[in-house]
Structures are given as C-alpha cells and as structure tokens.
Amino acid sequence: MKDHVLCKVDQLVVAAEADAVDCHATMWWTQTRTEYGTISPSQVFDLIKQVLNFHLDGLKHPRPQLDALEGIYTKLVTNGVVLPAFFRSMTLLARLSPSWEMSIIQTVMAGGNILDVT
C-alpha cells in the first residue's frame, strides 16, 4: 500500500514539474514573441527595397523567382504592411525580363481598365 501511495505521489510530482516547465516555456515563448516578433522600420524599408530591386531573369525558370518575391510580400503582410494588389502587379510588370516585356505588358494593358490589372 505504501509503495502504491509513493508511486502515485511520484507520478503527481513528475506531472506537476512537467506542467511547471510547460507553463514556463509557454510564458517565455509568449514574452519572446512579443518582444522580438515584430520587425523594425528599417527592416520593413529593406524588404520594400528588395521588392523594388527585384528583377525577373529571363534565362531562369520564373516560378522560384516569383516564389521569392511572394516570400518578401508575405514578410511585409505578416508585419502589418499592406501593399495593394495593383501596386504589386505594376511592380512586377516593371521588373520583367526585357525578353518578356513586350508580349506580357501588351497583353496585360490591353484589358482597358487599369484597375483590373492585378
């Protein structure tokens, strides 16, 4: 009987310690995320510069390049920066490879309504 009680107490102590560690870890993570989870204005500026300096290389497959650009946009949105779809579209059109410019820009601009270009 005594062994059963000791075993049960041991289980409760281990469970209490685990809960305390989980609670501490959760509290630490929440505090860390609050303090370091946002980016500074200079980091946002750097991301905007990356968008403005982005260039599609006509000799490489576009998918990885577009994924990289989308990753930059995702970082901006995650940190509260909203760039309208129109701005994103115009930025991409302005950064096309020269070999793609003529056909893609003519096709996009042929739509007639500038607000539909997204």
pLDDT one-digit tens code per residue, 59-97: 899 899 999 999 999 999 988 888 888 888 888 888 888
47 — pLDDT class (breaks 50, 70, 90): very high
What domain range includes position 80? Answer: 41-116
Q: Are residues 81 and 33 in the same domain?
A: no
Q: Are residues 5 and 53 in the same domain?
A: no
Q: Are residues 85 and 46 in the same domain?
A: yes
Q: Are residues 47 and 29 in the same domain?
A: no
Q: Are residues 71 and 98 in the same domain?
A: yes
Number of domains composing the chain: 2
CA distances from 24 to 17, 29, 31 (A): 10, 8, 10
| CA dihedral over 54, 59, 63, 68, signed as positive or negative | negative
pLDDT for 65: 92
User: pTM above the 0.95 mark?
Assistant: no
Considering only residues 111 and 16, tell me which one the structure prediction assigns the higher pLDDT.
111
Q: Copy the structure tokens of residue 43.
A: 């980091």
Q: Are residues 15 and 60 in the same domain?
A: no
Residue type, 43: Q
Q: Are residues 48 and 99 in the same domain?
A: yes
40 — pLDDT class (breaks 50, 70, 90): confident
Which residues, including other chains, have CB under 8 Å from residue 89's CB and lie 6 or more apart? 108, 117, 118
Q: Do 69 and 51 touch, CB atoms closer than 8 A?
A: yes
Considering only residues 37 and 57, tell me which one the structure prediction assigns the higher pLDDT.
57
